[in-house]
Amino acid sequence: MTSQPDPAQPDLSQPETAQPDPSDSETVSPPMRRPLSFVRRSNRLKPSYQRTWDAALGNELLDIPHGQRDTSVAEGFRIDWAAEFGRTAPIIVEIGSGSGEAVAHAAAENPDTDFLAIEVYKPGAAQLVSRIRREGLSNVRVAVANAPEVLDQLFAPGQLAEVWIFFPDPWHKRKHNKRRLVDEDFIARLARVLPPGGVWRLATDWSGYAEQMRALIGASPQFKNPHAGERAGADSPLTEVRLHDLDAISMGRQPAPLPLEEALDDDGGWAPRFPGRTQTDFETKALAVGRRIFDLTYIREP
């Protein structure tokens, strides 16, 4: 779910490899009720990562039995999280962890909190597991599975303290928007696993997805935006993107900027950067080509 772009490519909204691996069972499975929010890349691991994977499976790397697809969770499978971590502590889930820069940093900074990183791409998960073992982080587990199924099957209502989704695949072409992870159905799933006062943090470098997330989650009576009305008008990053068409420029396209009266984002609601979100390589590359970062924070309503 987290895109890791080739530095030579200006389009940071695209997955690292657009073509699926034909040997991957994910690409030939029967269709689901809604499109998956990801297209699997090659899952082949280089030998060093394969050794790490084998050593970590059943330990830092959760051994989750599959359903029909190799990222689905077998019906009836459950995890006792207190037994898994050896304690009862707040749990934060990061969806789309990539190689794990953000979640590993957060786990090291917050040893009294437990973290679950959900990532569908085995090479990224293997990198994260390697990092966890290298840094001796006992408070992180990694799940290679489809995030909605993990939320539905592995967590009880109100069990999570926070959920993080940083830089999900934007599926920026209109015909692909239906693949975006954050939709009405997913919002309901998040609402179930967060208690009143639970926190949902999001970040994206794609303005269209940022607007969609703000509109959909903002319309849900189950969440409130503690920064409603903030960073609006001339202070809004969305206004800046529209005025200069920064998305087009960052992708090497001819910009079509909007006039000021059309560009102004009167709604705002963008959160300040979450201090616990470390700047990853992906974000650094996005900023280097002129993209803007949109942070959103929502609190679960009683």
Domain harbouring 168, CATH code:
3.40.50.150
Name the pTM for this structure: 0.84
How many H-runs (helices) and E-runs (strands) does the chain carry? Answer: 11, 7
Active site (annotated) includes residue 185:
no
Print pLDDT tens along the chain (302 aa).
443 333 333 333 333 333 333 333 333 333 345 555 444 455 777 888 888 888 889 999 999 998 888 889 999 999 999 999 999 999 999 999 988 999 999 999 999 999 999 999 999 999 999 999 999 999 999 999 999 999 999 999 999 999 999 999 885 556 545 769 999 999 999 999 999 999 999 999 999 999 999 999 999 999 999 999 999 999 999 999 999 999 999 999 999 999 999 999 999 999 999 999 999 999 999 999 999 999 999 999 99
b/e burial code for range 167-189 (CB count within 10 A of at least 16 → b): bbbbbbeeeeeebbbbbeebbeb
Whether residue 123 is contained in a domain is answered as: yes
Is 282 one of the annotated binding-site residues?
A: yes
Given 24, 169, 247, 295, which residue is catalytic?
A: 169
d(CA 223, CA 238): 22
Whether residue 259 is contained in a domain is answered as: no
Is 281 one of the annotated binding-site residues?
A: yes
pLDDT at 53: 86
Q: Tokens at residue 249, please?
A: 């420029």
What contacts 191, CB < 8 A, 6 or more positions away? Answer: 220, 222, 223, 300
What contacts 104, CB < 8 A, 6 or more positions away? Answer: 128, 131, 132, 135, 137, 140
Is 283 one of the annotated binding-site residues?
A: yes
Is 169 one of the annotated binding-site residues?
A: yes
Whether residue 24 is contained in a domain is answered as: no
Element of type H or E holding 300: strand 294-300
CB-based contact 123:43 (threshold 8 Å): yes
Whether residue 190 is contained in a domain is answered as: yes
pLDDT tens readout for residues 14-33: 333 333 333 333 333 333 45
Domain count, the chain: 1
The whole domain housing 118 covers 49-232+272-300
pLDDT at 70: 80
pLDDT at 172: 58
Distance of CA 175 to the CA centre of its chain: 21
Whether residue 92 is contained in a domain is answered as: yes
pLDDT at 46: 80
User: Edge-to-edge, what's the strand order for the sheet holding 294-300?
Assistant: 140-143, 114-118, 91-95, 162-166, 199-204, 294-300, 223-224
Whether residue 219 is contained in a domain is answered as: yes
pLDDT at 171: 54
Is 119 one of the annotated binding-site residues?
A: yes
Whether residue 265 is contained in a domain is answered as: no
Whether residue 243 is contained in a domain is answered as: no
